[in-house]
Structure 1
């Protein structure tokens, strides 16, 4: 879907407001005020908050899905695939933290087909990640811990990275990648 420049501006401003206040606390009037226009003018470019949220969440979910598909279809080892997934999460966190906040915190406000599409993409992503972990365990490249515990540990860290990174002063990307990969894959002992 081609998005106009004005629509992109509206989405960018709304995503920051969603991140700061949460989806439910933001009104179309708030978005218009932040843009310096009348609320009625917004409707010339966007149907409403639901459309904004759908664009933010589904576009980012598609980016994660496409990245996962490339990684899964590669001939890389399970460890290399996990490294690539961590790097992808970091890249997205650094470049799209507002959309990531909407994806993590506000996805449940999606409706109808958009909600179903998101849940399907999320479930497929997690299943692919789980299968990579299981393959690593089967090949004795990953310690034989429960795959669900490993998946939860990695995804909970990666999904909340945008909060930590923002709060702690945004580490340099290459340092973040190197050290997160080392800690998530090798632990601290």
Structure 2
């Protein structure tokens, strides 16, 4: 692991535990047993760290959505792929998910604009899959916006819930969330 990767890993943990605004470069240096000035040899600013974490994750989601859109399959299959991807990333990098959910608002300028563009594009693509599913009769003709909200709310907060209830195997978690989000909880 490079020093830059170590700094990013440390920042992810501290940002998740304390929030971006509460963490200083000095806090990161102290956590890594370095002098604060040493961090600046690898990272220009705390904002740069936040931008790298949030934009890398936003690009992962956007890239995955691009692949899902190319799948020649029904809407249910595409939604299952989206859910599985969210669960995989949550299990692999819960800190980044937490930071994206809680701290993206601290991005500035072009980084903020890029994040909003990626997030809005992802949501629009998910909305289109849901809409196609409603139009084809695969999904019950409910409010598409409520379906979108229910899916994104569950998937975006999974990191927090799972952290407190770990022990559920990843594939079982994918299966259960997919079943509940796409088929509900009644028989």
Q: Distance in 1 between matches of 2:149 and 2:78?
A: 17
Give the structure 1 partner of residue 113 of structure 2: 116
Structure 1 residue 65 corresponds to structure 2 residue 62: yes
Q: CA deviation at 1:170?
A: 4.1
Q: Give the structure-1-normalised TM-score.
A: 0.97
1:96 aligns with 2:93: yes
Residues 1:174 and 2:153 aligned together: no
Give the equivalent residue in structure 2 for 1:86: 83
Cα RMSD, aligned residues only: 0.8
Stretches of 4+ aligned residues off by more than 4 angstroms: none
Instruction: Please state how far the C-alpha of 1:73 moved relative to its aligned partner.
Output: 1.5
> Which residue of 9, 26, 31 corresponds with 1:29?
26
Residue 158 of structure 1 corresponds to: 155
Q: How does 1:46-57 map to 2 (within 5 A)?
A: 46-57=43-54
Give the SS at the match of 1:169.
Answer: coil
Alignment of 1:184 with 2:178, yes or no, is no
Greater Cα shift, 132-141 or 161-170: 161-170
TM-score (norm 2): 0.98
Residue 140 of structure 2 aligns with which residue? Answer: 143
State how far apart, in whole Å, the 1-side matches of 2:47 and 2:18 are: 16
Gaps of 5+ in 2: none
Gaps of at least 5 residues in structure 1 are none
Distance (Å, rounded) in 1 between the aligned partners of 2:88 and 2:4: 24
